[in-house]
Amino acid sequence: MGNRALNKPADQTTVLVTGGAGFIGSHTVVELLDRGYDVVVVDDLSNSSQEALERVRALTGTQADGQRGRLTFYKESILDAQALEQVFERHPVDVIIHFAGFKAVGESVQKPLEYYWNNVAGTLALCDVARRHGCKNLVFSSSATVYGEPEFVPITESCPKHTPTNPYGQTKSMLEQILTDLYVGDDEWNVVLLRYFNPIGAHVSGTIGEDPEGIPNNLLPYVAQVAVGKLERVGVFGDDYPTPDGTGVRDYIHVVDLARGHVAALDWMAGRVGTGEALGLGSLAGQPAVDGTRRGVGIFNLGTGKGSSVLDVIHAFERACGHEIPYQVMPRRAGDVAENYAACEKARDELGWVAEYDLDRMCEDSWRWQSQNPNGYRG
């Protein structure tokens, strides 16, 4: 069976979004619906909330399930091949944006089997069902963790991948290889690997945002919860790095910019933008096929290209919320690098995508979400 062509209008294209009720997934669904795509979400809600999708409906004015150009939701696991079969039988899925997966670095060290099983086996099940239904177009939610300790910054897509320091990062690196091998074995596959840096922020409406369970693992939701009074102070791990203020520097990207990067990837896969040079895999550098749909494996960093320190983030959030945020300097964490930020010229040149929002805007939108929803989607 061949592969579905993507060179048709958005309102005639069905996108399956796995993990679409999560932080990045829900914001991407908004962007897809705003562009007119028909969206089908599969999410087991193990680390997300159906309320996010109800708010997405309200934001985008979508109607009931099953209508063309609308949003349809299935509470299912990507490990359940039979459930996936039913989704593909009911919907003419043209392309998959694959977010679903466990994502907590620390937890992955404690539960490696669960992470490898869910993230790797789940993706294998998804790809197996998809190809049986003639859908070999996939955008994969990867991560800058695949670079390990980078050889240079800013990090380009040609920076060598090093062994990730935890099972979560290892699943991303393994899946990049698996998806590349899919194309090597069958050149009808059309794969984009999007390597995210540090997504923060929230939709400008304040109605959807990041809603971590328990104590947040990442800096910004932690800062936000200190700002709203749920947590006492921010722990700053190390202030003696060779950086301007001694704290670690990372590339923070607004989640809406990140979401728009996925829409840009769909345009690129469909042959509507770019030249094909960005595939960057030598013999895997395919060109648009006869039907206009690209074939190959494209790799793109999604970041701002600008590093911000931990203290930069804290001070930007103080400006957003209007009061001081207490923090305490603590010893460095093992495995942390001094600075890590992206080179994003490839995404600009090939996808026609650039991050638009700066750190102040990211923190303003995060504060609006956190202050309006102190307990996240739980009211």
3-state DSSP of 309-337:
EHHHHHHHHHHHHCCCCCEEEECCCCCCC
Pair 372, 362: CB distance under 8 Å: no
285 φψ region: left (φ > 0), alpha (ψ -120 to 50), beta (else)? beta
Handedness of CA 129, 49, 119, 70 (dihedral sign): positive
| Cα–Cα distance, 260 to 22 (Å, whole number) | 16
Q: Does 37 participate in catalysis according to the annotation?
A: no
Considering 74, 168, 222, 377, which one is annotated as catalytic?
168
Pair 74, 248: CB distance under 8 Å: no
User: How many alpha carbons lie under 13 Å from residue 153 in its C-beta half-sphere?
Assistant: 19
Unique residue bearing structure tokens 């069902």 = 129
Structure tokens at 173: 């690196």
In angstroms, how far is CA 121 from the centroid of its own chain? 19
Neighbours of 234 (CB within 10 A): 22
Unique residue bearing structure tokens 């998809």 = 130
Amino acid at position 206, single letter:
G
From the number of C-beta atoms within 10 Å of its C-beta (0-12, 13-18, 19+), residue 138 rates as: buried
From the number of C-beta atoms within 10 Å of its C-beta (0-12, 13-18, 19+), residue 71 rates as: buried
Enzyme catalytic residues = 168
